[in-house]
Amino acid sequence: MAQNACATAKFTLGSFLINTSTKFMRKGELTRAAILDVALDLASRDGLEGLTIGLLADKMNMSKSGVFAHFGSREDLQLEVLKLYHHRFEQEVFFPSVKEPRGIARLRAMYARWVKRVSVEVASGCIYISGAVEYDDRPGPIREELMAMVGAWQAALLRCVQQCIEVGDLKADSDARQMVYEMYGLILALHHDARFLRIPGSLERAGNGFERLIVSYKN
pLDDT digit string (tens) for 44-84? 999 999 998 899 999 999 999 999 889 889 999 999 999 99
Instruction: Give the chain's domain count.
Output: 1
CATH number of the domain residue 105 falls in: 1.10.357.10
Residue 51 is assigned to a structural domain of this protein: no
Residue 94 is assigned to a structural domain of this protein: yes
157-158-163 Cα angle (round to 5)? 95
Residue 67 is assigned to a structural domain of this protein: no
- How many other C-beta atoms are found inside a 10 Å radius of the C-beta of residue 54? 10
195-200-204 Cα angle (round to 5)? 95
Output phi, psi for 114, to 5 deg.
-65, -45
195-151-8 Cα angle (round to 5)? 130
Give the helix ranges, DSSP H, for 24-126: 27-46, 53-60, 64-68, 74-89, 95-97, 104-124
Residue 134 is assigned to a structural domain of this protein: yes
Residue 191 is assigned to a structural domain of this protein: yes
Residue 146 is assigned to a structural domain of this protein: yes
Which of 114, 121, 39 has the alpha carbon at shortest distance from 83?
39
Q: What is the domain range of residue 107?
A: 2-17+75-217
CA distances from 146 to 78, 135, 153 (A): 11, 9, 11
Q: What is the pLDDT of residues 196-207, one digit of tens each?
A: 999 999 999 999
Longest dimension (CA), the chain: 61
Q: What pLDDT, on a 0 to 100 scale, did the predictor assign at position 204?
A: 97
Residues 142 and 82: beta-carbon distance below 8 Å: yes
Q: Does pLDDT of 121 surpass 60?
A: yes
Weakest mean pLDDT among 2-6, 36-40, 53-57, 94-98: 2-6
Q: What pLDDT, on a 0 to 100 scale, did the predictor assign at position 26?
A: 83
Residue 26 is assigned to a structural domain of this protein: no
